[in-house]
């Protein structure tokens, strides 16, 4: 996958979103980034556009200052990409979906737990790899695919069997 797809949808928090959506979830038009009217701001983005962005990666998804004097900013109506959410790209190291079972149907162990299998992948050192207080499949160590520790005493870990992303199957990429 290459970054050209970031113009149609956003991944993670949308910091790399480079599309041309210029209105918010409620339909308000976006203020030009290099303008301070109607809202003063100092976010450092001096684009000569009013396209939705997430400068400084400060919000949960792409947003903009609005042209409505009563509403300073709002999130934009940009779809989240299904890449690495409903499917995995490459080795799954960027997968951030919600699968909680291995390809054999075994339940995943919470990454914050060391029971039944102790490990060193805790949130403090691996948050950027998608590790947190959940039991979703991830690939923090660049294995061949997303995996998890299992709750099965006899199976320490296993791959999850997330389908590979491809443009024939998934419309947002």
pLDDT at residue 101, rounded to an integer: 98
With a threshold of 0.85, does the pTM exceed it?
no
Predicted local confidence at residue 122, as pLDDT: 87
For residue 2, is pLDDT > 70? no
Q: What are phi and psi of 127, to 5 degrees?
A: -60, -35
With a cut of 80, say whether residue 3 has pLDDT above it. no
Place of tokens 């339909």: 27
Residue 171 has pLDDT above 50, yes or no: yes
Give yes or no for residue 128 having a pLDDT over 80: yes
Strand 147-149, strand 63-65: pairing: unpaired
User: Would you state the pLDDT for residue 46?
Assistant: 78
> Is residue 6 scored above 70 in pLDDT?
no
What's the distance, Cα to Cα, between the start and end of the chain in Å? 9
**pLDDT 10s digits, 84-123:** 778 887 899 988 899 999 999 999 999 999 999 999 998 7
Mean pLDDT of 37-55: 89
pLDDT digits (tens, 9 = 90+) for 156-170: 999 999 998 776 666
Closest CA to 63 of 93, 112, 28: 28
Q: What is the pLDDT of residue 37?
A: 94
- Mean pLDDT in residue range 80-85: 75
Q: Say how far apart CA 57 and CA 61 lie, in whole Å.
A: 8
* Spatial contact of 156 and 117, defined as CB atoms under 8 Å apart: yes
**pLDDT recorded at residue 85:** 78
Residue in this structure with the two tokens 């599309």, named with its chain if needed: 19
- The CA distance from 101 to 109, in Å, is 9
Report d(CA 35, CA 17) in Å as an integer: 20
Q: What are phi and psi of 95, to 5 degrees?
A: -65, 130
How far apart, in whole angstroms, are the C-alpha atoms of residue 16 and residue 23?
A: 18
């Amino acid at each position: 996958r290459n970054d050209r797809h970031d113009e149609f949808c956003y991944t993670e928090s949308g910091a790399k979103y480079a599309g041309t959506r210029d209105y918010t979830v409620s339909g308000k038009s976006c203020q030009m980034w290099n303008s301070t009217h109607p809202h003063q701001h100092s976010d450092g983005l001096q684009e000569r556009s009013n396209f939705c962005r997430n400068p400084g990666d400060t919000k949960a998804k792409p947003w903009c200052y609005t042209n409505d004097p009563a509403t300073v900013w709002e999130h934009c109506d940009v779809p989240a990409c299904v890449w690495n959410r409903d499917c995995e790209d490459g080795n799954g190291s960027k997968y951030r979906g919600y699968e909680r079972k291995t390809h054999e149907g075994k339940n995943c162990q919470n990454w914050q737990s060391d029971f039944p299998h102790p490990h060193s992948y805790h949130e403090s050192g691996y948050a950027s790899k998608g590790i947190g207080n959940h039991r979703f499949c991830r690939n923090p160590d660049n294995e061949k695919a997303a995996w998890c520790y299992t709750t099965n005493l006899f199976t320490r870990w296993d791959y999850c069997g997330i389908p590979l992303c491809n443009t024939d199957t998934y419309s947002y990429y």
